[in-house]
Structure 1
Amino acid sequence: MSQLGEFELIERFFHRSGKTAPGVALGIGDDCALLAPTAGQQLAVSSDMLVEGRHFLSTVAPERLGHKALAVNLSDLAACGARPLAFTLALALPRPDAAWLEGFARGLFALADAHGCALVGGDTTAGPLNLCITVFGEVPPGQALRRSGARVGDELWVSGTPGEARLALEVFRGTLSLPQAAFERVRARMETPTPRVALGLALRGIASACADVSDGLAGDLGHILTASGVGACIDAATATSLLAKPDQLALGYGEIPPEKRLEWVLAGGDDYELVFTAPAAAHGAVLRAAQAAGTPVTCIGTIEAAPGLRLRAADGHVRPCPYGGFDHFA
């Protein structure tokens, strides 16, 4: 079989003839795509890059990598309360492997179709495996969720089960052993995260601030605290319990020391959950929004006036949070 050329690669794996999406006036095939967002909406734009060996292991299945490449960008839209519209893909490949590209495109487009998000352009080149997606969404003016709205007295919430992706990483590192069923579960959490788009949309008008959890819950919460000029206190027992639910204990999580569970919940990374704040009076509204979105949420603390992040133990003792977020250059 002859080697794939750049334009044949694009045409064969990424150009979807006849596949249109609302909001896209012109897709792949010209020097620029043309987007037509709904009248009166604002565009929400975000970019994320995934580099082999830094953001994903070389052993990851291409279909899962295609899913994750888009999921991490959709997670940013979710944190903004924006509805997905379209995306571009810049792809560097060591070589054009048809089987790899088929799997990658399959995972990419399965998630894109699930969210009505069209691929409208990008670039391909030779080089170390590197994926960069820019995603476009839309949100009504004044309804975007931002990091700067948290207020003293707000409740602090997180979606899903942060920390599970970190368990998979520790297994790959050889520092943790889990039964096979548990490993398959956490590996899926690491390799195919679920972007909480429905939750982000449901929280519009309810949440006072929001961020997606990509570099660790404590670190990404820190962005909200800084932008809002506030601090927070997390209930350590509640945070630890996120990795001690009955189904998790049945899979063997109970062998993990509580302090390690707390560390991996707060500093695990690769979760792509939402951390958000809301007025205490909106507690019921948050729960109803989460139920409507089919996404579990947990209230893990409160927003306080004193700067910084703290942990409150079961006995009431409060200490500074020793965990931070992942920093690519640290």
Structure 2
Amino acid sequence: MSGNEFDIISRYFSTQPVSRHDVDLGIGDDAALITVPENCQLVVTTDTLVAGVHFLAGANPEWVAHKALAANLSDLAAMGAMPAWCSLALTLPDSDEQWVASFCKGFYALAEYFHVQLVGGDTTKGPLSITITMQGYLPSGQALTRSGAKVGDWIYVTGELGDSATGLDFILGQREMSVAGAGEFVHRHYYRQPRVLAGQSLRGIASAALDISDGLVADLPHILSASGVGAVLEADCLPVSDALKALESDPVNAAKIALTSGEEYELCFTVPESHRGAVDTALSHCGTKAVCVGQVRSGKELAINWQGETVDWTLAGWDHFRSNE
């Protein structure tokens, strides 16, 4: 990068609102030193967002920062982990301090909410991209994984699906921005709220889990493959926002959007019949709603029903190379 790289690090990344007691040495040395709680497993995830693939180069950097950090938080949420520390590798075409300041505003707001401390990273010159590595922890042996689903388990999703893809359509000009509520959909695309507390609440209840980053129809098969099972989804049971219902008069179209909408960062999880009664109670403590949308069954295929009848919808989840966003 330019000669003022260290000035940027000092000005924007060495001063942050979160200072954890378990960080023994943070930004300023060759690496960070962290004390991990006893009897816990470390959970690590990395995500990269690239301009032109995950966000437009001219997008609000505050919104982009939220989206980037939320993607990592959502991965930890899917494991049932407590987020704690992160590092940031930021590649910039030039040392645009106004962009960095706005980015940090969005980044630190979400980091502070979940008490995540930035402990290191790197800045360099090049095409605009953001890579975040996040670490968290959970009690040993209590991680939610993709491989625990069993035949007969029920399939749930948190929140509402479809708004992120709809917002992306507005951003890419595939829907007219003059439509009422367009700005709200765009905001929902960037400002998804990762279900961190919900993931922790589901430890010991869910048999398998993941976050919805590429669309339910694309992500659920990861659980099915890892668990060696099949499933049926009841598309008419999918949770869709009132705003999307108003925008899409045909409920079938709304359901298809909900099935394929990527970057939702909601949780999809499976629950044995014996634990089904505990779901609402567990999630009520964190203000999260979950809806049963299907069931695990034998075989390897994912079937989709609409009003009790199997349908042959040709659907694909989010593809990072499908658009210029």
TM-score normalised over the length of structure 1: 0.92
- Pair 1:318-2:310 in alignment: yes
Partner of 1:131: 130
Q: Is the 8 A contact 2:81 2:200 kept in 1?
A: yes
- Pair 1:68-2:92 in alignment: no
Aligned length in residues? 321
Q: Is the 8 A contact 2:162 2:244 kept in 1?
A: no
Change (3 A) 1:151 1:18: closer
Q: CA deviation at 1:176?
A: 2.7
Distance, in Å, in 2 between the alignment partners of 1:124 and 1:172 is 28
Partner of 2:39: 40
Partner of 1:144: 143
Structure 1 segment 169-188 matched on structure 2, within 5 A? 169-177=168-176, 182-188=181-187
- Pair 1:269-2:262 in alignment: yes
Letter in 2 for 1:260: N
Q: CA deviation at 1:29?
A: 0.7
Change (3 A) 1:8 1:292: same
- Pair 1:9-2:1 in alignment: no
Distance, in Å, in 1 between the alignment partners of 2:116 and 2:136 is 9
Partner of 1:278: 271
Q: CA deviation at 1:260?
A: 2.2
Q: Percent identity of the aligned residues? A: 42
Deviations 1:181-206 (A, max 9, x none): 52222112211111110100100110
Distance, in Å, in 2 between the alignment partners of 1:321 and 1:106 is 42
Change (3 A) 1:22 1:320: farther
Deviates more, 1:320-329 or 1:273-282: 320-329
Distance, in Å, in 2 between the alignment partners of 1:329 and 1:248 is 25
Distance, in Å, in 1 between the alignment partners of 2:216 and 2:178 is 26
- Pair 1:193-2:185 in alignment: no
Distance, in Å, in 2 between the alignment partners of 1:200 and 1:210 is 9
Partner SS for 2:285: helix
Letter in 1 for 2:132: I
Distance, in Å, in 2 between the alignment partners of 1:143 and 1:93 is 39
Change (3 A) 1:180 1:99: farther
Q: CA deviation at 1:69?
A: 1.2
Q: Which runs of 5+ in 1 are unaligned?
A: none
Q: Is the 8 A contact 1:150 1:224 kept in 2?
A: yes
Partner of 1:253: 247
Partner of 1:114: 113
Partner of 1:217: 216
Q: Is the 8 A contact 1:62 1:100 kept in 2?
A: yes
TM-score normalised over the length of structure 2: 0.93
Change (3 A) 1:222 1:197: same
Deviations 1:125-180 (A, max 9, x none): 00011000000000111110000000111110011112101011122333334765
Distance, in Å, in 1 between the alignment partners of 2:111 and 2:196 is 12
Q: Is the 8 A contact 2:228 2:300 kept in 1?
A: yes
Change (3 A) 1:112 1:4: farther
Partner SS for 1:39: coil
Partner SS for 1:144: coil
Q: Is the 8 A contact 2:230 2:297 kept in 1?
A: yes
Partner SS for 1:134: strand
Change (3 A) 1:246 1:92: closer
Partner SS for 1:59: coil
Change (3 A) 1:176 1:89: same
Q: Is the 8 A contact 1:23 1:85 kept in 2?
A: no
Distance, in Å, in 1 between the alignment partners of 2:3 and 2:244 is 45
Q: Is the 8 A contact 2:157 2:266 kept in 1?
A: yes
Q: Is the 8 A contact 2:144 2:206 kept in 1?
A: yes
Distance, in Å, in 1 between the alignment partners of 2:193 and 2:286 is 12
Partner of 1:161: 160
Distance, in Å, in 1 between the alignment partners of 2:303 and 2:313 is 5
Q: Is the 8 A contact 1:60 1:191 kept in 2?
A: no
Partner of 2:57: 58
Q: CA deviation at 1:297?
A: 1.2
Deviates more, 1:45-54 or 1:300-309: 300-309
Distance, in Å, in 1 between the alignment partners of 2:259 and 2:190 is 19
Partner of 1:302: 295
Q: Is the 8 A contact 2:17 2:112 kept in 1?
A: no
Partner of 2:25: 26
Deviates more, 1:284-293 or 1:78-87: 284-293
Deviates more, 1:182-191 or 1:228-237: 182-191
